[in-house]
Structures are given as structure tokens and as C-alpha cells.
Structure 1
Amino acid sequence: MPSDMPQPTFVLVRPQMGENIGAAARAMWNFGLDRMRLVAPRDGWPNPKSVAMASGAGRLLDEAVLVERTVDAVADCSFVFATTARQRGMTKPVVTPERAMEMAREKIARGEKVAVLFGPERAGLENDDIALANAIISVPVNPEFPSLNLGQCVLLTGYEWRRQTVEIAAEVTEMAGTDWASAIEMDKLALHYEERLDEAGFFFPDTKAQGMKRNLRNMWSRMPMTRADVQMMHGILRQIVRWKDRAE
């Protein structure tokens, strides 16, 4: 059975190749979507080639709803999006995938049922299919090469749905078993280097020494260092001093 998670239904209209149906299922499941409807697949249904391509998302194929007409696939939906890259001469809102899935989230939260139509690989949705839609999803692709594979289009739309429903950090840092260095640890590192560099005569002439030390500390403060980094920098300096002492 499909999950209870509120979500839009993805409708593949007259898909041609079983492999592309499988790729669409895999893309849907990547982003937690599991409500697929198929309108008159060209090569019949079920299709063993779709199972091989689904790669672990076969449950979606087993539970896919098969219908003969597009209107039957969206009969229980109150809002329908149609994906197309071509101008169709129809007066409809045209939205990006991001905006479409934002709208879908708002409508589904109010208890509405939402569907997204994806057309066959060769020519996309027909005008009669698009006439059933309330809005058009248009991907801002290269106008000289606007064609998207069925699986790609499903993947892109599924990704935008996921962004609307899951809190996703734009950037994270994997700490690999360590923590960020504290201010006192950075201060001790700076002092260690200042002492050794002072012994080596680096801070010359005396009139510039204070400014050079300040610049060095400023450099350390700009570096987002972990405790492991600080320990390594201490170790490097200690080893350099030991090597120098042995050489003498």
C-alpha cells in the first residue's frame, strides 16, 4: 500500500519505454514519493524492463494505478499540473517546478488532492491532456535544447517536492570525530608559534614585531580549525624544532 504521507500523485501519460517508467519510479522513491498512476503505457503493463530499471523501487510499480485515459487518472484531484517545455496557446498559469511544489504543499495541507502530469518521451503531453490541467510547470532549460527525459523530469519535480517538505541544511560540515577549536586553544597555538618564531628571529625589525604578531593572529582567526587541526599544527612545529636541534 502507498504510504500515508501527504503528497502529490505523479501521472505518467502514455509512457513509451518500460525503462523510463522504472527510472521514474526510482526517482520518485528517492524523494519519498510513492503514488504513481499510468495512462495507457505503449508497451503494456506490467513491463519487466521497468522493474530492472527501478532498482529497489519496484513496490511503486506493483502499486501503480493503471488507467486508459488521462481524465480518469486525475478524476479525484482538485488541482492538476502539466509538465511541458512547449508553448501550447492556452491561457494558464506557468510556474517553475519550485513554485509548483510550493503550491502543491499548500493545497495538500488544506486537504486537496494534487496531480502532476508527465508526457510520453517522444513528444510530451498532448493539448487535450494539458487542457485538463490547472497550471503548467515549465523548467527553465536551454531553449535550444529543451527536451528532458521522463525520468529526469520526474526527478527534478520530486526534488522540489522534497525541498518543500523536509528541512534541508544548505551546507553542513562533517566533523569526522572532532570539534571546532575553542578560543583558548587557538590562543595557545598562536603563542606557541609566536615564541618559536621569535626565537628564530622572524619578528624583525623590532618596530614591526607587534604588527607582525597581530597579522599572524589574524591569520589564525580566519582559519576554521578543529581541535585535531590545532594538535597537528603544534606537532608540526615541535618536530621542526626537534629536527633543527638534532641538526646542530
Structure 2
Amino acid sequence: MEKNMTGRDGGADLIPVGNTPVVILVRPQLADNIGSVARAMANGGLFHLRLVAPRDGWPQPKAWRAASGADRLLDHTKVFDTVEAAVADLQHVFATCPRPRQIIKPLLTARGGACEMREMTNRGLKIGILFGPERTGLENEDFVQTDYWIRYPLDPRFMSLNLSQAVMIMAYEWWMSTEETPERQLQTNKTHIATKGELNNFMNHLIRELDHCGFLRNQEKRPGMIRNLYHLFQRGEVTEQELRTLHGVVAELVKGPMK
């Protein structure tokens, strides 16, 4: 049976967007962990939290203190007596499983699970993710209600995660499954990567002064030395601001030491 309970008002205005998986904490033990889970969920765009038989009841003020502003998520948390009741309105349920089990089910990584969930939610299906108690994890009876397992491929010498860390990994992979931020980019602030014209303008300045001081006097080696200089400045995506600084460096070197 669902128990409609809400905490106090306040916090960030976190409004669910679209059809997102429901995070279900089974027999959670500590209010601080529940609050940390809410914070991790909000980081990854997950906004539906359900609790199954929380050890210390619900609501618990400590949870809101640990949520760092994810208050609205906790305000709308739903509480159930059993896993069966918590998943009754869902169509597929995934379960995090750190240990091998003698049951045949599809086993996914967090990334693979997130991709499966995206495909399912895009079809309008309602999805849930089970996370077990902090000390013991999910029991065999809990797995009866699940369709897929998720196991994180961590260093086998140390695979210990706390509850919010486990949720954070799943929330991150859910978010990244559609995130379009480039994997690599250059932070240029108020400048920009130099155009070929800007780079050639600097190179002409530099070569002119190198000719003037005699550095390029070896005519046989001169073309190769110039190519090397071009390759040097082209290799690192030099910015327009950096070229302006280099123009100034060359100009000051031409003037010679201050008197």
C-alpha cells in the first residue's frame, strides 16, 4: 500500500521533465543517505523517488539537510510497504546487483542499462531501478520483481560503493545517454582559436624579423626551418589573444634590451 507522505516545503524548483526512470530505495537505513540520493538523482535528471519500508520511517528531517537543495524531489517521495507494491505501475524494472546470482536474467553495465531505459521510456514505458539496503543489498525475493540486472564494472579488488554513489553512477549514465556536450573542447574564454589569416599574419611578422636578424641566413635550411615554425604554432590551436602576445614579444625582442 502506498503511503502519501511529503516533507517540508522549500528547495530548488526541480520539475520532472518527460518520462524518466523511478529510483526505488529498498529498505534504506539512513536519512542522510536518502538525502544524498536525492541530490545525485537531481544531478542526472532523475526526479521520481520511492522508498520501500525505510527503517526509520518517513519523512526524516535529516534527509532534507543532506539533499543540498533537492527538496522538491524529497517532498514528492512516495513510500511503500513492499517492493511488489512499489513497482506495481511500472512495466520494466532494473536492479543493481554487485554479486553473482543463480538466476538467469540479462546483465548490463550502467551505460548499457541507461541506453535500454532510454529506448523504453521513448516508447512511453514506465521504468524503475531498484537499489538495495546499504549493508546487505537486495535479497533474492526482491529480484523476483525485476527484469534486468545492472552491475558496475569496477576494480574487482575494491568494488564498495555507498548508496548515493551507486545512484550517482546510474544517474550520470542516464544523463549522458543523450548529452551532446563535446568530449573534448578548448576553453577560450573571451578570445577564439586563431584563423589561418591571423596565424599567417604573425608568421610573416616572425619570419621577417628572423630574416632581418640573420637567423634564417642558411638558404638551404631556411624552407625547412620555416615549415617547422608553422607546424609548431599550428599543432596546439593557438588563440588570437596568444598571437597578439607573441606579436608583442617579437616586437620587443627587435628593440633589444632596455637602456
User: Number of residues paired by the alignment?
Assistant: 246
Letter in structure 2 aligned against 1:109: N
Q: Distance in 2 between matches of 1:219 and 1:69?
A: 65
Greater CA drift, 201-210 or 47-56 = 201-210
Moved over 4 A (4+): none
Deviation at 1:146, TM superposition (A): 2.1
Letter in structure 1 aligned against 2:88: A
SS at match of 2:220: helix
2:30 counterpart of 1:21: no
1:55-104: CA deviations, max 9, x gaps?
10011111000001011110011110010100121111110011111111
Deviation at 1:142, TM superposition (A): 2.0
> Greater share of helix residues, 1 or 2?
1
Unaligned runs of 5+ in 2: 1-13
2:121 counterpart of 1:108: yes
Q: Distance in 2 between matches of 1:230 and 1:55?
A: 44
Unaligned runs of 5+ in 1: none
Letter in structure 2 aligned against 1:105: R
Q: Distance in 2 between matches of 1:152 and 1:221?
A: 42
Greater CA drift, 30-39 or 218-227 = 218-227
Structure 1 residues 172 and 219 mapped into 2: Cα distance closer, same or farther (>3 Å)? closer
Q: Distance in 2 between matches of 1:47 and 1:238?
A: 68
Give the aligned CA root-mean-square deviation in angstroms: 1.5
1:18-50: CA deviations, max 9, x gaps?
111000000001112110000011111111111
* Alpha-carbon contact 1:2-1:35 (below 8 Å) kept: no
Structure 2 matches for 1:15-164, cutoff 5 A? 15-164=28-177
Deviation at 1:220, TM superposition (A): 2.3
Match of 2:233 in 1: 220
Structure 1 residues 49 and 36 mapped into 2: Cα distance closer, same or farther (>3 Å)? same
Match of 1:194 in 2: 207
TM-score by length of 1: 0.94
| Identity score, percent | 40
Deviation at 1:4, TM superposition (A): 4.5
Q: Distance in 2 between matches of 1:173 and 1:67?
A: 48
SS at match of 1:122: coil
* Alpha-carbon contact 1:190-1:220 (below 8 Å) kept: no
Structure 1 residues 208 and 166 mapped into 2: Cα distance closer, same or farther (>3 Å)? closer
SS at match of 1:121: coil
Greater CA drift, 2-11 or 21-30 = 2-11
